Amino acid sequence: MIHKTIADFPKEFLWGAASAAYQVEGAWNEDGKGPSNWDVYVRFPGTTFKGTNGDVAVDHYHRYKEDVALMAQMGLKAYRFSIAWTRIFPKGRGEINEAGLRFYDDLINELLKNQIEPIITLYHWDLPQELQDAYGGWESREIIEDFHNYSVALFKRYGDRVKYWITLNEQNVFIMHGYLNAIHPPKVADLKRMYQANHIASLANAKVIASFRNDVPEGKIGPSFAYGPAYAHTDKPEDVLASENAEEFNNHWWMDVYAWGEYPKVIWNYLTREGLAPSLEEGDLEVLKKGKPDFMGVNYYRTTTYERNLLDGVSFGKMNTTGKKGTTPDTGVPGLFKTIKNSNLEATDWDWEIDPMGLRIALRRITSRYRLPILISENGLGAFDVLEENDVVNDEYRIAFIRRHLEECQQAITDGVDLLGYCVWSYTDLLSWLNGYQKRYGFVYINRDEDSEKDMRRIKKNSYFWYQKVIETNGKQL
Ligand code: NOJ
């Protein structure tokens, strides 16, 4: 669709940026915080790039005021951050930790004082280790109650001040990396267990959404889904079918459950035949149906292109966590699909295709299928930034990346997408999980690397000043 004129960004558009507790806070064992699965996992040799961990991260726990002051100077309208479950309930359940609650009180109040809308993520992958040890974390239905209690405690404490809430961050990613690719905790490679853990996570997600309606009646809540739209490699019907398989298998499997409380039929049949479908208990589908979100949170980084994969074809493979371009193998599910490089698109050093128009396609597909408003809860570019003399970081490539994605947002708004906001990943540089500190995403450079914490000085990159102007003009000047 080529529009003759383009709509403006809505007046109340949430110009945001995002982070996650484990990636920025540090203070991993302070003020009563208990250990999370990531605190434990990173200590196994060989799991992360150069053995990095989030013990100190970028020290946001102690420097949050300075970070918020920089946000305020930028004119940021919204800041998405996650709460570390283990600060609130050090053991995941039982006794609540007042010091942990107070930290987020202070952060929220600081944001509000500066007219920045807080967006809370309830769960950004840092599970209390105690719950992993006690009953296997997401593999036990016990977690539904514990996650519910934790979430309700947050609704009650912050619901008077916080309107926007995100339940699970990238359920598809933490489940697949944790139970299939075995690169995130609990480092399992077992499809049957993966589908079961995922079903339990969906129930937990739906149950907290249902309670949210009572506790924060004026609020808005939704999950953040890592949506990578599927493309067909060629116009051969077998490639088109492969891309449909991938869209259903990788995307609808989660989003249909969020929006409708239903699993997609074709994939359900496939998994049942393979003996992999999750076991449902009585009442599960009702729980899922009661968890309809107010918006679909979308973390968009890339599209993926697919072609036919024969029954003896490739399956899942290793990820590029080093930034050495071209080291990602093609992966797939035998009999369903396999990935193939899209020759029309450039890629980042971590082999993620750069596809701004793919974002418009993502927004359009969600709008047409689910008719929900959308919050872009993450979008951004991971790159090797260079700190030049006089504290300059010339990240023109990041500006170009975000500008093109925002142009496509505007096209999507003109198409009729109800877009609530756009959170850039990330606000400051941070720990990129398995990728260390060298994969930088922030508007604010943090002077540290894998080898040394240095002084962790905050330095505004060129993209900081550019985004400041974008916000000031409500997107008129991109
Ligand atoms: C998605 C995750 O939510 C975030 O934690 C991660 O760092 C970014 N993607 C970049 O990989």
Residue 282 Cα to ligand 1 middle (Å)? 35
Q: What is the pLDDT of residue 321?
A: 85
Phi, psi (rounded to 5 degrees) for 38: -75, -35
Average pLDDT over residues 11-27: 98
Does the beta carbon of 299 sit less than 6 angstroms from any atom of ligand 1?
A: yes
Residue 460: its pLDDT value, please? 98
- Confidence tier at 382 by pLDDT (50, 70, 90): very high
Structure confidence at residue 316 (pLDDT): 83
- Cα 432 to ligand 1 centroid, rounded to whole Å: 7
| pLDDT for 10 beyond 90 | yes
| Alpha-carbon 233 to chain mean position | 26
- Cα distance between residue 87 and residue 264, in whole Å: 37
Q: Which tokens in the block code for residue 160?
A: 């008077």
**Residue 126 near ligand 1, beta carbon < 6 Å:** no
Q: Whose CA is nearest to atom 6 of ligand 1?
A: 432
β-strands 304-307, 230-232 pairing: parallel
CB 265 within 8 A of CB 180: no
Contacts of 283 (CB under 8 A, 6+ apart): none
Query: What's the rounded mean pLDDT across residues 219-246?
Result: 98
* Encoded amino acid at 448, one letter: R
The residues annotated with a catalytic role in the active site are 378
DSSP state of 93: S
- The confidence score (pLDDT) of residue 319 equals 81
Q: E strands along 396-440, which residues?
A: 419-425
Compute φ and ψ for 118, nearest 5 degrees: -80, 140
Phi-psi region of 81 (alpha: psi -120 to 50; beta: other; left: phi over 0): beta
Q: What is the pLDDT of residue 121?
A: 99
Question: How many other C-beta atoms can be found within 10 angstroms of the C-beta atom of residue 332?
Answer: 23
Least confident stretch, 88-97, 114-123, 266-275, 326-335: 326-335
Tell me if 19 CB under 6 Å of ligand 1.
no
pLDDT in tens, 117-166: 999 999 999 999 999 999 999 999 999 999 999 999 999 999 999 999 99
Asked whether residue 318 carries a pLDDT value surpassing 90, the answer given is no
Mean pLDDT of 267-284: 98
Spatial distance between the Cα atoms of 65 and 380, rounded to a whole number of angstroms: 24
Q: How far apart are CA 141 and CA 138, in angstroms?
A: 7
Q: Which protein residue has the closest C-alpha to ligand 1 atom 5?
A: 20
Q: Find the helix or strand (DSSP H, E) in which 357 lies.
A: helix 356-370
Please give the distance, rounded to the nearest whole angstrom, from the Cα atom of residue 445 to the centre of ligand 1.
17
Task: Give the distance (Å) from ligand 1 centre to CA of residue 14.
Answer: 20
Give the gyration radius of the chain's Cα atoms. 21
Span 272-286, mean pLDDT?
Answer: 98
CA–centroid distance for 197 within its chain: 18
Q: 378 CB less than 6 Å from ligand 1?
A: yes
Give the three-state DSSP class for 79: strand
- Model confidence pTM above 0.95: yes
Question: pLDDT tens for residues 423-470?
Answer: 999 999 999 999 999 999 999 999 999 999 999 999 999 999 999 999
Q: Are 363 and 374 in contact (CB under 8 A)?
A: yes
| pLDDT, position 285 | 97
Beta bridge partners of 306: 232, 339
Give the bridge partners for 80, in sequence order: 18, 119
Q: Which atom of ligand 1 is nearest to the CA of 432?
A: 7
Mean pLDDT within 17-34: 98
Say what percent of the chain tops pLDDT 90: 97
CB 120 within 8 A of CB 164: yes
Cβ of residue 435 lying under 6 Å from some atom of ligand 1 = no
Q: Which of helix, strand or coil describes residue 41?
A: helix
The answer to whether the beta carbons of residues 201 and 171 sit under 8 Å apart is yes
Average pLDDT over residues 23-43: 98
14-304+351-473 under CATH 3.20.20.80, yes or no: yes
The pLDDT, as a whole number, for residue 317 is: 78
Query: How large is the average pLDDT for residues 35-57?
Result: 96
Pairing status of strand 220-226 against strand 296-299: parallel
For residue 20 and ligand 1, the question of a CB distance below 6 A is answered with: yes
CA of 165 to the centre of ligand 1 (A): 17
Domain ranges of the chain: 14-304+351-473
CB neighbourhood size of 5 (10 A): 5
Among 22, 319, 425, which residue has the most ligand 1 atoms within 8 Å of its CB, making it the best to mutate?
425
Query: Tokens standing for 450?
Result: 């894998």
The closest alpha carbon to 165, from 99, 120, 135, belongs to 120
Half-sphere exposure of 341 (CA within 13 A, CB side): 11
Contact (CB, 8 A) for 306 and 230:
yes
Q: Is 169 in the pocket of ligand 1 (CB under 6 A)?
A: yes
Residue among 299, 300, 349, 439 whose CB has most ligand 1 atoms within 8 A, to mutate = 299
Nearest atom in ligand 1 to the alpha carbon of residue 380 is 10
Distance of CA 471 to the CA centre of its chain: 22
Helix H or strand E encompassing 363? helix 356-370
CA nearest neighbour of 115 among 62, 64, 159, 73: 73
Which letter does DSSP use for residue 434 in this model?
A: G
pLDDT > 70: percent of the chain? 100
